[in-house]
Amino acid sequence: MVAEVPIRIETDRGPIDAALALAAAPVTVCNALRYIAGGHYDGGRFFRTVRSDRNDGTAPPIDVIQIEARDGEEHDAFGPIPLERTSVTGLRHRAGALSMARWGPDTATSSFSIVVKPSPSMDFAGPRNRDGQGFAVFGHVTRGMDVVRKIHRAEADGERLRPPVRIRRIAVHRASRATVAAIRERCGLAIDRRRAGATRN
């Protein structure tokens, strides 16, 4: 069984490589892979930066940057997904974590954040949300935190990046044939090996 799926986020500020935690958070990862396989993030953007040093006091401070799909933050091609709580997955909002955006439990669709500094208030039972259910972590950055930090520090109007940072595309990156086959089987996705950048294995 494949535990992690490698992806690359290609931005105008440089590439960010990440590993999606398929074994720990399969519902959230398969959902993200549906959007990736369909090209929904290609032409999307990092549109938001949340910085603890600019916290307005309305919520516990966090440090994240947030992605929206090409058709916007609320883009919903496949319906909302169940919340995979960090109390169940064992994943945490450490620096580099990928975390699904949501309004309430079981409402996440396509938008997600990358955690810049440890933000435990986003975990289950944390105070970032009044419901205490936290956000679903579904992967972590493996390379490119310098790009993440650069975007986090970029000019912003409040939390809105001005201008937003364009995402050229997100794709499964340098995955073995076995990994691509496992994704197909686990998630029921027709992952194109060429788009996935599959390597021999």
pLDDT at 102 over 70: yes
Name which of 116, 119, 64, 62 is nearest 93 in CA terms. 119
Check residue 192 and give its pLDDT.
60
Q: Please report which helix (H) or strand (E) contains residue 148, including its range.
A: helix 145-152
Is the Cβ–Cβ distance between 99 and 136 less than 8 Å? yes
- What pLDDT, in 10s, does the model give residues 3-30? 999 999 999 999 999 999 999 999 999 9
What is the amino acid identity at position 10?
A: E
Check residue 191 and give its pLDDT.
64
Counted residue by residue, the chain has a size of 201
Instruction: Find the mean pLDDT for residues 65-87.
Output: 95
Longest dimension (CA), the chain: 51
Token duo for residue 9: 């986020």
Cα angle at 149 between 139 and 97, to 5 degrees? 15
Q: What are phi and psi of 154, to 5 degrees?
A: -65, 160
Above pLDDT 70, what percent of the chain?
94
Is the Cβ–Cβ distance between 100 and 28 less than 8 Å? yes
Q: What are phi and psi of 32, to 5 degrees?
A: -60, -40
What is the amino acid identity at position 188?
A: G
Which letter does DSSP use for residue 152 in this model?
H
Instruction: Find the mean pLDDT for residues 167-195.
Output: 83
